[in-house]
């Protein structure tokens, strides 16, 4: 596998804290990956017809509230941080923090305590810390949510 | 992606861009890029069934069939 993502946008990811898990693909994105769907690209905008899937149970808004609702509708509740908790799995929703936070990314915590992220149109990766994908592309994690661990349907925890 | 200047410039080309995008979509094969918003804006239609929204391969197939049937 080769790394196609722009290092300038994700400056903290390197060969020491990150391993590739897939080839580059346009088929799914970070939200799809976090909920375990590799068949569709999940994003609220553009609206119907724009080529993105967004579930009907969630407001079709590019806001933190909508993204939190997306995960709450899948059994998650908000929590304080991304620490590993026995029996729970977590997701982190990222945003850029200059002004009103606009969601940019979601990462999913594996049972090992490591995190996995689909990097937009590039690869999905396993990274040591949730903050390894901080940077110009995604900003920083703003909201953490947890639920009882169900095991990611695709990736080996 | 759709907000980036180059994507907007392609939309700004108007209808002549439609065939170029369809050719690109075909060339991209099993991993088509997200040209669907541009196609919808440029053509004024959306032939993709609602249940296929987000599935780039199915959306690409639908648009390519639409292109062949024009």
Q: Domain ranges in chain B?
A: 5-68
What backbone phi and psi angles, to 5 degrees, belong to A57? -80, 5
Selected for mutation to probe chain B from A51, A56, A118 (highest B CB count within 10 Å) is A51
| Token pair belonging to B44 | 């004024």
pTM of the model: 0.92
**How many other CB atoms are found less than 10 A from the CB of residue A123?**
21
Q: Evaluate whether ipTM surpasses 0.90.
A: no
- Looking at chain A, which residue has its C-alpha nearest residue B55? A40
Q: Using omega within 30 degrees of 0 as the cis cutoff, is the peptide bond preceding A46 cis?
A: yes
CB-based contact A46 B2, cutoff 8 Å: yes
User: pLDDT tens for residues A80-96?
Assistant: 999 999 999 999 999 99
Helix spans in A38-89 (H): 64-72
**pLDDT tens digits along A103-132:** 999 999 999 999 999 999 999 999 999 999
- CB neighbours of B48 closer than 8 A, spacing ≥ 6? A49, A51, B36, B58, B59, B62, B63
Break chain A into its structural domains and give their ranges. 20-148
Look at A156 and B57; give whichever has higher pLDDT: B57
């Amino acid at each position: 596998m080769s790394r196609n993502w722009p290092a300038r946008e994700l400056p903290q990811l390197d060969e020491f804290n990150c391993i590739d898990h897939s080839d580059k693909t346009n088929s799914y994105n970070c939200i799809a990956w976090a909920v375990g769907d590799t068949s569709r690209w999940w994003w609220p905008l553009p609206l119907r017809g724009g080529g993105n899937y967004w579930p009907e149970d969630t407001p079709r808004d590019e806001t933190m509230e909508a993204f939190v609702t997306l995960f709450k509708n899948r059994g998650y509740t908000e929590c304080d941080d991304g620490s590993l908790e026995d029996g729970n799995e977590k997701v982190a929703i990222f945003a850029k923090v200059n002004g009103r936070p606009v969601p940019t990314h979601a990462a999913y915590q594996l049972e090992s305590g490591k995190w996995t992220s689909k990097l937009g149109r590039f690869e999905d990766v396993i990274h040591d810390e949730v903050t390894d994908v901080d940077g110009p592309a995604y900003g920083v994690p703003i909201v953490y949510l947890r639920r009882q661990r169900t095991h990611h349907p695709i990736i080996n925890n | 992606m759709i907000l980036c200047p180059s994507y907007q410039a392609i939309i700004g080309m108007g209808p002549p861009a439609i065939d170029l995008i369809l050719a690109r979509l075909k060339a991209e094969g099993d991993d088509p890029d997200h040209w669907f918003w541009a196609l919808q804006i440029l053509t004024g239609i959306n032939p993709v069934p609602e249940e296929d929204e987000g599935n780039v391969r199915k959306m690409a197939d639908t648009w390519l069939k639409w292109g062949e049937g024009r």
